[in-house]
Every structure is written in structure tokens, then in C-alpha cells.
Amino acid sequence: MSEEPLKVGIVCPYAWDSPGGVQFHIRDLRDALVRLGHTVSVLAPAEDDSALPDYVTSTGKPVAVKYNGSVARLNVGLRSTRRLRDWIRDGDFDVMHVHEPISPGISAVAIWAAQGPIVATWHSSMEKSRALSVGFYIAQTVMEKTRGRIAVSELARRTLVDHLGGDAVLIPNGVECSNFAAGKPFPGWPGSGGALFFLGRLDEPRKGLSILLEAMPAIAEANPDVRLLLAGPGDAAEIAERVPGDIADRLTFLGLVSEEDKANAFHSADIYIAPNTGGESFGIVLLESMASGTAVAASDLEAFRRVLDDGRAGVHFRNQDPADLARVVNGLLADPELRQELISAGRERALLYDWSRVAREIVDVYRSVRMPGEKVTEDLRRQFVGRWSRSTAKGAQS
């Protein structure tokens, strides 16, 4: 006899209509859960409520907040708390799944507002910092109320263990392998001269585009017809002005891309380049490249080494070293047999993270925290915003 389907409420602290790894994770998890027969509703901030899919409820417009070395778009306040309360009441959830529970947004408020089975997932890794110290007092209430804790990477789990005094089961990010395997190259790509691909915010330093652009003259010297595809938000004209004219001529900017065109871009390249300089706890984009059948060259961040199986499913270059990046890329472009070996190993590696596996592990956590007939309900006696303010103030004084 099959187990009963669950009604799951998922809380995303970051703006749903602003691209990001957590949002993509939740979107793909929702789709995988639905395929398994479960019902899923998502709560998240959004700039434009009218553009949201029908399974997402907006908590209102987000604001930009500096968080963990980046800028996150999130919100919290009386209006978002009212929407949260209504969402919990109307959802009648069997389990609530809150992502990034100590981020400065609706996630912690959702945990304070609800009672019953609550699961929390940590995505980020961070060093001990003032922000983390402020969040410590918020985190203690989160730890008290969550029955299940998930970390998407060992680095995220280590943040929880070392700084917050708890532990979590390790369940990695997932990837829809079949979607990326189905991609098709753009017309004229990759061509015979060598094609590279970069995906990320063009103007965010930790994504490392400047390192790749600094390496491009040495790559072009060894590969006169090499081209570079770039996808992601940012000022393309400003980027092109920063490099020599002969390098600018090799750049093709795609801007923000759909999931279909992201897969097509991977298939349009010989090598995917990940020059990220830090702040990464996993590396889902590496899995997407491997699932697409594109060789990966990535900086030697610990998170990337774990995803690439210590160099068996991709090659590494020294972090923030343009010369070493150029050396590695030139070696790969000159060795199609090595690229094919990496492609084969990468496909096998990506299948270990397919959502068909990952979603079932998450459902196992959901079921482990439930008692028969129990639901997620509101606890309106808590003063959500007041408690947020007191916890933040107490942390800031420590």
C-alpha cells in the first residue's frame, strides 16, 4: 500500500522573481514533489504578484539587504506577517518546509508563527561574523521549533554545527538531468575554434567574471578563434569596455536566460568555466553543466571540489589565478579525449543528484517529523515582529 500524499508548505525568504539558487532549488523541489503525488504551496516575496505561478503566494515587495557577501531581496513586516498567517491557515499543511531559516526575512517569522511539523533547510555557508552573531538568538528559536534539519552541503552543515550548536541530515541540491540532457546548441555553436560558457551575475565580484576576462588574452593566444558565451544579469556594454577590443569581439552576451536556453547554452560550449572566488556552499551549476554533457573547469573552492569528486568529474584551477585558469582551459581545448572522459564521468556524477532521488530523501524527512493526523497550525499568541526586533537587538549588543 502506497503512503498517503502530503500537503507541503514551502517558505522561500528571497524574491521569487529575482533569479537565485535557493529559488531554483525550491521550484525544482516543488515540481519533483508534485510528480510524486504531493500537493505543494510556496510562500515568497515578489516584485510583481501578477507574474507568479499559481502555486506561489506573495508576502509583498522585497527590499535589497546585504547578506553573506551578496545582496538578497527579502522582506519582513506586518503586511508580510498577515499574509503568512493567512497562508498557514488556508494551506492546512501536513508539514512546513522553511529554507534559509536564519536569513533576515520571512523564514524565521514563519517558524515562530507556526506549530506542528516544521523542517528547515540550510543552503549557505558562512564564517563567524557580526551578522551571524546577531542571528544566533534568532537561530535558537529556530532550533527549538524545527523537528527536521537539512543541509544541502557539508559546508552548510558545518556552519550549523560550528556556529549554531545543532546538526542536520545532508541532502544535496538536485538537478533535473533529463532537462539539461535535452538541450540543443545555438546555431553556429560551439564551432571549431573552441567555445567557453560563463553563467552568473556579471557584476558580482565573487562570481569571478573578472578573473576569466583577465585570462582571455592568454586563452585567445593559444586558440585564435575561441569565443565566450556569457549569461546572467549585468551591464554587457560596461563589461565589453573593460577588455581589449579583440577580446570584446569574442564575447556574446545572452542576458537573463530561460531554463531552456540555459540548457542550450551549455550544449553550445566545449567547456563551462566557474571562476567563483568564494561564498559557495555547493555548486548546482556544475551539476547542470555535467548533466548537459559539457566539460567543467572550476576554481578549487572546497564546495566545487566536492561536487566534481576531487577532479574526477571536472578540472580545477587555482582560485583567483587568471594564469592558471588560462593554462587549464588551454589544456582542455587541446585535448578532446580528456574532455570526453570528463563528460562521461560528469554525466554519471550528475545522476547521483537527480531530483528523482533527492526529492524522495526529503519526503523521508517530512514523514519522520510527523505524527498521525498532525497539521501545521498558527500560533497567534506570538508577537512575531516584536520578537524579531528583541532578538536582533540582543544579538547586536553581544
Domains, the chain, in order of start with CATH, read 7-174+355-397 (3.40.50.2000), 177-351 (3.40.50.2000)
Residue 15 to residue 27: CA distance in whole angstroms:
12
Are the C-beta atoms of 374 and 116 separated by less than 8 Å?
yes
Closest CA to 344 of 299, 291, 300, 283: 291
Residue 295 to residue 349: CA distance in whole angstroms:
12
Contacts for 238-243: CB closer than 8 Å, 24+ residues apart: 238/203, 239/202, 239/209, 239/213, 242/213, 243/213, 243/216
The confidence score (pLDDT) of residue 136 equals: 64
Residue 44 to residue 87: CA distance in whole angstroms:
11
Mean pLDDT of the chain: 89
What are the cell numbers at 203? 557584476
Q: Which run of H or of E encompasses 131?
A: helix 130-145
Strand order from edge to edge, sheet including 148-151: 56-58, 39-44, 7-11, 95-99, 118-122, 148-151, 169-170
Strands 169-170 and 95-99: unpaired
Task: Summarize pLDDT for 25-64 with one digit per residue, the tens.
Answer: 999 999 999 999 999 999 999 988 888 999 999 999 887 6
Residue 172 to residue 189: CA distance in whole angstroms:
32
pTM of the full structure = 0.84
% of the chain exceeding 90 in pLDDT: 72
Is the model's pLDDT at 299 over the cut of 60? yes
Cα–Cα separations (whole angstroms), residue 27 to 1, 6, 87, 173, 329: 29, 17, 18, 12, 33
Residue 224 to residue 193: CA distance in whole angstroms:
7
Neighbours of 319 (CB within 10 A): 18
The confidence score (pLDDT) of residue 78 equals: 82
DSSP assignment letter at 330 = H
Residue 133 to residue 219: CA distance in whole angstroms:
44
The confidence score (pLDDT) of residue 396 equals: 39
Placement of cell 576531487 in the chain? 310
Arithmetic mean of pLDDT, 185-214 = 96
Arithmetic mean of pLDDT, 336-346 = 98
Arithmetic mean of pLDDT, 345-368 = 97
Is the model's pLDDT at 336 over the cut of 70? yes
Arithmetic mean of pLDDT, 295-320 = 97
Are the C-beta atoms of 320 and 234 separated by less than 8 Å?
no
The confidence score (pLDDT) of residue 230 equals: 98
Arithmetic mean of pLDDT, 349-375 = 96
The confidence score (pLDDT) of residue 395 equals: 42
389 versus 54: the higher-pLDDT residue is: 54
178 versus 386: the higher-pLDDT residue is: 178
Residues 6+ apart with CB under 8 A from 268: 185, 186, 189, 190, 195, 197, 229
What are the cell numbers at 290? 555535467
